[in-house]
Amino acid sequence: FFKNKSSIVNISSFSSISGGPYSSHYAISKSGIETLTKNLSIFFKDKKIRVNAISPGLIRTRLAKNFKNHPYFERILLNRIGETEEITNVVEFLLSNKSSYINGQIINVDGGMFLK
């Protein structure tokens, strides 16, 4: 069902790293997406299908309307939340030939949230 040399991009979340007392089920599912990404990149190697995932940080959506109150907001090195276009730019890159040597990776798009 996938053509040779295709590219798959899964969406994870910073919750796979941090979890939380009220979101254990969500964190576990996103950790599963990351493991699935790595395993599928191995499974599809003969078809040269690349499989990667993006792990967004705090992104401006209706779910993040109170982002300044989020406990991790102060950790973001860029001192702002991300925009949806910044996620789609990475998706477009991973689907393009410009990323032809990237496979089995989880790319954090989080403004440096987990570096401090």
Is-catalytic flag, 22?
A: no
| Marked catalytic residue, from 22, 26, 72, 101 | 26
What is the total residue count of the chain?
A: 116
Residue 23 one-letter amino acid = S
Judge whether 103 and 52 are in contact, CB under 8 Å. yes
Is the Cα torsion angle 39, 42, 46, 52 positive or negative in sign? positive
CA atoms within 13 A on the CB side of 93: 15
Active site residues: 26
